[in-house]
């Protein structure tokens, strides 16, 4: 096997797991990478117990001291960037050109951001002078033991986006990575331990939905931070709500891009390509519904077709490769099902790509889960490929007559994760973006999600935000104290 087997991690070290064993696969070749030992319910109980034991001391460690440990973890992550990026490339099938410049980097940035925020007073409350002799003060207190549940598309980045604010705020965590891409979790746990995080503050359990379900509904879990599909998120949020747990839900999308009539076509095409083909389209914020003004359609398509040759599938460690396979056989079948449906049932016009494998793949990659980047045009709002999240490299072009109509159609979905506008007239771009029903919006760019920017979905795409100043609020609860110094108690039970 290319990597050591994985077992649960708690009390600051790897421990024996007692659940079923499954395998993680290199999606570029179909070869097995490692055996992953699931946690059984007792393993999960013990990991939660380890996190509970660690909570009193970690939550009362001064924020500055917690920050110092997290900053050490940031240095270790950056020192080991390429080593971790290689592991992520093997597990996810994303090219090394991407994992080495995005995944670890944007995760480490978030740890640095929250370490800085709490060291700089980000957990301070308010004081409110009520009267001369009375005031209120508030405190932001950690919640307790939190569960982090990861999706497979940005494994270490998701783990860092969850654990950074969680730990910075003084909570402890039991993290379950996706069963599809679990390799990063032990590396991260070891880095946190090496950085000085006390045993039990960050713990890992492995497994599929049953392990996730057991963890998130556990009575000792105070909060669930979940990233995944809308359908799973609804189940997890439902069970958490029934037990009054705090939740953050980062779910799927079907995001629109509106290309305004005055847009620079080349910029809009570059943006639309990044919004659909980066990470082989396996990005939650993908802008898969591209609304183009009718008169611009042919020029837009022509420029897009010119640029499709710059998508390069191939050996994932080559610096020029910028397009990998899909993450798993199951996901491959799902995406191919949508492409086939688009051609045969929706009868959208296939402008590029389709059901064949990308051309020119080396011999050793032919068993991998490769698809061709695909473009449909002449799409209509009622098509399945326009309504449902495909989570693959499928760009759909829809035309519109006027901006009013484009906004209305863009908003005509239950999902509200991201949206964007391309146009030269910034006043118009702001006006349009302000009417789009989505939590993450971009003007003349797509996809960048820096640590400073709070991101989260509207409508069915989620609850709460990650990152930015607001991101810390999801990991604390408020305590208000009213202090009265008047030495007299205001009472209605006095003698008449
Ligand atoms: P998924 O819902 O299938 O699985 C996500 C995680 O939930 C996995 O770890 C899985 O084991 C776990 N899980 C499954 N059933 C569970 C249950 N009953 N209780 C608790 N945990 C359970 O999602 P996926 O296919 O891994 O990820 C792809 C989806 O994630 C896409 O829809 C994508 O849009 C979304 N996503 C959203 C964001 C965001 O920030 N909004 C980011 C990345 C991915």
Q: What is the pLDDT of residues 107-135, one digit of tens each?
A: 999 999 999 999 999 999 999 999 999 99
Index of the ligand 1 atom closest to the CA of residue 462: 41
Query: Across residues 181-194, what is the average pLDDT?
Result: 98
Q: How far is the CA of 150 from the centre of ligand 1 (A)?
A: 6
Q: Which of 151, 223, 467 to mutate to test the pocket of ligand 1 (most atoms within 8 A of CB)?
A: 151
Q: How far apart are CA 108 and CA 411, in angstroms?
A: 34
Distance 7 CA to ligand 1 centre (A): 21
> pLDDT-based confidence at 1, cuts 50/70/90?
confident
Whether pTM > 0.85 for this model: the answer is: yes
Relative to the CA of 176, which ligand 1 atom is closest? 9
Ligand 1 within 6 A of CB of 203: no
Closest C-alpha to ligand 1, atom 39: 250
Q: Does ligand 1 come within 6 angstroms of the Cβ of 161?
A: no
pLDDT at position 340, please? 98
The answer to whether residues 429 and 421 touch, using CB atoms and an 8 Å cutoff, is yes
Q: Is the CB of 236 under 6 A from ligand 1?
A: yes
Q: How far apart are CA 55 and CA 75, in angstroms?
A: 25
Task: Evaluate: CB of 235 within 6 angstroms of ligand 1.
Answer: yes
Quote the tokens at residue 180: 């599809």
Backbone angles phi, psi at 333, to 5 degrees: -65, -35
Q: Which residue of 106, 157, 182, 228 sits with most ligand 1 atoms within 8 Å of its CB, as the best mutation to test the pocket?
A: 228
In the chain, the percentage of residues whose pLDDT exceeds 90 is 98
pLDDT band at 360 (very low <50, low <70, confident <90, very high): confident
Q: Whose CA is nearest to atom 1 of ligand 1?
A: 228
47-97 pLDDT, tens digit per residue, is: 999 999 999 999 999 999 999 999 999 999 999 999 999 999 999 999 999
Q: Let me know: does 397 contact 380? Beta carbons within 8 Å.
A: no
Are 221 and 244 in contact by the 8 Å Cβ rule? The answer is no
Nearest-angstrom CA–CA distance, 222 and 309: 49
Overall average pLDDT of the 298-302 stretch: 98
What is the distance between the alpha carbons of residues 203 and 46, in angstroms, rounded to a whole number?
Answer: 10
Distance 231 CA to ligand 1 centre (A): 9
Give the active site residues.
250
Q: Is the CB of 416 under 6 A from ligand 1?
A: no
**Pocket lining: 227 vs ligand 1, CB cutoff 6 Å:** yes
**pLDDT at position 192, please?**
99
Residue 369 near residue 327, CB atoms below 8 Å: yes
Instruction: Give the residue whose CA is nearest to atom 34 of ligand 1.
Output: 252
Instruction: Answer whether 367's CB lies under 8 Å from 348's CB.
Output: no
Asked whether the predicted pLDDT for residue 359 surpasses 90, the reply is no
Q: Does the CB atom of residue 239 touch ligand 1 within 6 A?
A: no
At residue 429, does pLDDT exceed 90? yes
Nearest Cα residue to atom 16 of ligand 1:
209
Structural domains of the chain sorted by starting position, each given as residue range(s) with its CATH number in brackets? 9-251+461-481 (3.40.605.10), 256-443 (3.40.309.10)
151 lines ligand 1 (CB under 6 A): yes
């Amino acid at each position: 096997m290319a990597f050591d087997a994985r077992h649960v991690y708690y009390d600051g070290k790897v421990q024996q797991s007692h659940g079923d064993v499954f395998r993680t696969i290199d999606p570029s070749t179909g070869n097995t990478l490692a055996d992953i030992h699931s946690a059984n319910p007792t393993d999960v109980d013990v990991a939660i117990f380890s996190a509970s034991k660690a909570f009193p001391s970690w939550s009362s460690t001064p924020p500055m001291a917690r920050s110092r440990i997290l900053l050490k973890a940031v240095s270790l992550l950056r020192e080991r960037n390429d080593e971790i990026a290689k592991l992520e490339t093997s597990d996810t099938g994303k090219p090394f050109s991407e994992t080495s410049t995005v995944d670890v980097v944007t995760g480490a940035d978030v740890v640095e951001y929250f370490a800085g925020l709490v060291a700089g007073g980000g957990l301070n409350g308010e004081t409110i002078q009520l009267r001369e002799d009375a005031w209120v003060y508030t405190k932001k207190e950690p919640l307790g033991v939190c569960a982090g549940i990861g999706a497979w598309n940005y494994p270490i980045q998701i783990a860092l986006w969850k654990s950074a604010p969680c730990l910075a705020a003084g909570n402890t965590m039991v993290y379950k990575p996706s069963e599809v891409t679990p390799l990063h979790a032990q590396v991260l746990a070891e880095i946190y331990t090496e950085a000085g995080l006390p045993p039990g503050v960050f713990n890992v359990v492995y497994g599929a939905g049953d392990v996730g379900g057991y963890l998130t509904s556990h009575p000792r879990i105070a909060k669930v931070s979940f990233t995944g599909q809308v359908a799973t998120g609804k189940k997890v949020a439902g069970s958490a709500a029934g037990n009054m747990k705090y939740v953050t839900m980062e779910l799927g999308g079907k995001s629109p891009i509106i290309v305004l009539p005055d847009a620079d076509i080349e910029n809009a095409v570059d943006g639309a390509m990044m919004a659909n083909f980066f990470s082989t389209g396996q990005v939650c914020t993908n802008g898969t519904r591209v609304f183009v003004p009718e008169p611009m359609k042919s020029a837009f398509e022509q420029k897009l077709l010119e640029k499709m040759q710059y998508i390069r599938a191939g050996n994932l460690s080559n610096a020029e490769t910028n397009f990998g396979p899909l993450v798993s056989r199951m996901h491959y079948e799902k995406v191919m099902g949508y492409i086939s449906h688009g051609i045969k049932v929706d009868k959208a016009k296939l402008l590029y790509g389709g059901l064949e494998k990308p051309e020119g793949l080396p011999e050793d990659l032919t068993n991998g889960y490769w698809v061709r980047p695909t473009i449909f045009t002449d799409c209509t709002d009622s098509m399945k490929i326009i309504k449902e999240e495909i989570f693959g490299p499928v760009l759909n072009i829809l035309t519109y007559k006027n901006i009013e109509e484009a906004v209305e159609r863009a908003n005509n979905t239950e999902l509200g994760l991201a949206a964007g506008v391309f146009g030269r007239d910034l006043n118009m771009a702001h006006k349009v973006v302000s009417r789009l029903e989505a939590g993450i919006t971009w003007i003349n760019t797509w996809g960048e999600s820096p640590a400073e920017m709070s991101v989260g979905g509207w409508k069915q795409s989620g609850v709460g935000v990650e990152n930015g100043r607001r991101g810390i609020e999801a990991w604390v609860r408020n305590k208000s104290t009213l202090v009265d110094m008047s030495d007299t108690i205001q009472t209605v039970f006095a003698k008449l």
